Amino acid sequence: MDKYVIKKVKERRQELGLSQADLSYELNVSIGFIGQVESPNYPAHYNLRHLNEIAKILKCSLYDLLPKNPL
């Protein structure tokens, strides 16, 4: 499920023309954190607090970032 959510966040971020740096600034985390989350080489992922804030930043519903059915 983490990979699905990460992919959705990245897609939405790119649709809005936001860089990893832009998202990290708005989310109040390091640029490196966003890079690690989006890279399959690191175990980093977003927590529920992150996802709630990301939905606000990306101007979408939290449900837009989650799968409609269990994976």
pLDDT digits (tens, 9 = 90+) for 12-21: 999 999 999 9
Q: Which residues contact 50 (CB under 8 A, 6 or more apart)?
A: 27, 29
CATH architecture of 2-65: Orthogonal Bundle (1.10)
Burial class (CB in 10 A: 0-12, 13-18, 19+), 70: exposed
Using 50 as the pLDDT threshold, list the residues of the chain that sit under it. none
Q: What is the pTM of this model?
A: 0.94
Alpha-carbon distance of 34 to 21, in angstroms, equals 8
- List, as own/partner pairs, every contact residues 52-56 make where C-beta atoms lie below 8 angstroms and the sequence separation is at least 24, other chains included: 53/26, 53/27, 54/9, 54/23, 54/27
Enumerate the domain spans of the chain.
2-65
What confidence score (pLDDT) does residue 44 get?
96
What DSSP character marks residue 39?
S
